[in-house]
């Protein structure tokens, strides 16, 4: 049974993230989307508990056939410790552009040093979503811009509900 953790802030989840989730589900038996509880991250668009609900809804909508094999959970502390708790031997991350590569390389090597039994697998984010980032979505939503092409409806609704969308 190959179990992968896809860790991130997902604040909010974007179509780029969802693309990675769907493709990871095609490779691994179980995918656990791990939402990092990070009290130090400045001004979240959505509280972490709400993010879990949004991601669950988005996955049920986009990937119904695989949804039963995809979990969404909060975690804190180290990603590799979360992997060990959940018996995952892979970390999944998306790469949008060269600019992502340096920090992802550093993170993958560090995680491997901390937990040699956990390997990192990268998916190249689909070209049509590779310009999207959660931080830009947050900025656009803060100023009332339309983010409906960047995030799934479950996230767009919450951002609008908080006065941060459309």
130 is catalytic: no
How far is Cα 17 from Cα 9, in angstroms, rounded to an integer?
11
Using CB under 6 A as the binding rule, whether residue 107 contacts ligand PNS is answered as yes
- 1 neighbors 32 (Cβ within 8 angstroms): no
Among the residue ranges 43-51, 106-114, 140-148, 150-158, the one whose residues contact ligand PNS (CB under 6 A):
106-114
Q: Find the binder of ligand PNS among 50, 69, 86, 110 (CB under 6 A).
A: 110
User: Tokens standing for 7?
Assistant: 């860790």
87 is annotated as an active-site residue = no
Residue 17 annotated as catalytic: yes
From the list 1-9, 24-32, 64-72, 154-162, the region that binds ligand PNS by CB under 6 A is 1-9
Q: How far is CA 72 from CA 31, 48, 62, 157, in A?
A: 9, 11, 14, 19
Residues 58-97 that bind ligand PNS (CB under 6 A): 78-79
Confirm or reject binding of residue 36 to ligand PNS (CB under 6 A): yes
d(CA 31, CA 49): 19
Rounded to whole angstroms, the Cα distance separating 88 from 124 reads 21
In the bound state with ligand PNS, the residue whose beta carbon lies nearer, of 110 and 142, is 110
Choice between 8 and 165, CB closer to ligand PNS: 8
Residue 96 is among the residues annotated as catalytic for this protein: yes
What 8-state DSSP symbol labels residue 141?
Answer: H
Shortest Cβ 52–ligand PNS spacing (Å):
14
CA atoms within 13 A on the CB side of 128: 6
Instruction: Name the catalytic one among 134, 138, 158, 164.
Output: 134
| DSSP one-letter code for 105 | H
Query: What residues are annotated to the active site?
Result: 17, 41, 96, 134
Give me the residues that bind ligand PNS (CB under 6 A), please: 7-9, 36, 78-79, 107, 110-111
């Amino acid at each position: 049974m190959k179990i992968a953790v896809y860790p991130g802030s997902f604040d909010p989840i974007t179509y780029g993230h969802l693309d990675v989730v769907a493709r990871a589900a095609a490779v691994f038996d179980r995918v656990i989307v791990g939402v990092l509880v990070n009290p130090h991250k400045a001004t979240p668009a959505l509280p972490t508990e709400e993010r879990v609900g949004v991601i669950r809804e988005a996955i049920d909508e986009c990937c119904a056939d695989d949804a039963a094999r995809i979990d969404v959970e909060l975690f804190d502390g180290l990603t590799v410790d979360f992997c060990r708790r959940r018996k995952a031997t892979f970390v999944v991350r998306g790469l949008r552009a060269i600019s992502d590569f340096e920090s992802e390389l550093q993170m993958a090597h560090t995680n491997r040093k901390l937990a040699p039994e956990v390997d990192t697998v990268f998916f190249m984010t689909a070209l049509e979503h590779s310009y999207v980032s959660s931080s830009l979505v947050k900025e656009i939503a803060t100023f009332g811009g339309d983010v409906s092409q960047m995030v799934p409806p479950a996230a767009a609704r919450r951002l609008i509900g908080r006065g941060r969308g459309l």
